[in-house]
Amino acid sequence: MAIRIRRREFIIALGAAAAAWPLVVRAQQPERIRRVALFPLGAERDAEAQAYVRALRQSLEKLGWIDGQNIRIDIRWESGETSRMQADVAAALGLAPDVIVSGGTPVTTELRQKTQPSRSYS
């Protein structure tokens, strides 16, 4: 009888360990870092653009999204040059961002052109 009790306890313990295993494995895996492509309206030295970026970061932090921990914010500042803006859009999209935040019409138009499937009308 003592052997059966031990065997039963062993089977129960093994079953509990098997049930808990996915939780342990999930706890050990780091969360994927999400990417945010940010195109603020303004140059890097612009105080208003800096305030916008600061407010966005603070708002995200309040929601638990911290740059460098569970998100990566890639900022592409406005330069006023169309060719640079196009290169910045291409570079940002090359990083496969999860979210794109755009502050101006020219960059938003470029982003839409690069991310929307082409439509043909017959």
Q: Tens digit of pLDDT for each residue in 36-54?
A: 999 999 999 999 999 999 9
| Residue whose tokens read 């496969």 | 96
Please state whether beta strands 34-39 and 99-102 pair in parallel, antiparallel, or not at all (unpaired): parallel
- Give 63-87 pLDDT, tens digit per residue: 999 999 999 999 999 999 999 999 9
d(CA 49, CA 69): 23
Residue with tokens 């940010």: 38
Distance CA 78, CA 103 (A): 9
Question: Taking the model in full, what pTM does it have?
Answer: 0.70
